[in-house]
Amino acid sequence: NAGVTQTPKFQVLKTGQSMTLQCAQDMNHNSMYWYRQDPGMGLRLIYYSASEGTTDKGEVPNGYNVSRLNKREFSLRLESAAPSQTSVYFCASSEAKGRNQPQHFGDGTRLSIL
């Protein structure tokens, strides 16, 4: 049972480069999320997709774009990477029925911007 799979696990970029972080879930969940985790800051929501075909901004969306490719996949794109985007990025998914179902997380992508 894979759950939520994120690729790549590690990446180093130079300032100004672009990259797409991939996320896929096999639990038939409707909702998917992208977070970043920085030391001392906890997790902060970047973007979320409540259902296939919809995306919405979270707390810290600047510098990022997302695509809900289908029900399984939700990607996060950095168009022009900046050192401030050095972080650990987590993808999560949840059922849409009812309010505030538990979220299931991938193991993260560790991204360094030089």
Region near another protein per CB under 8 A, out of 11-19, 32-40, 62-70, 77-85: 32-40
Total chain residues near another protein (CB under 8 A): 29
Q: What string of DSSP letters covers 49-75?
A: ESSTT--EE-S--TTEEEEE-SSSBEE
Contact with another protein (CB under 8 A) among 17, 19, 22, 50: 50
CA distance 80 to 106: 24
- Check binding of 52 to another protein (CB under 8 A): no
Residues with Cβ within 8 Å of residue 102, at least 6 apart in sequence: 94
Cβ-based nearer residue to another protein, 17 or 104: 104
**Rounded distance, CA 46 to CA 29, Å?**
19
48 binds another protein (CB under 8 A): yes
**By C-beta, is 33 or 64 nearer to another protein?**
33
Q: Omega before 8 cis (within 30°)?
A: yes
Interface residues with another protein (CB under 8 A)? 4, 31, 33, 35, 40-45, 48, 50, 56, 58-59, 90, 92, 94, 96, 99-108
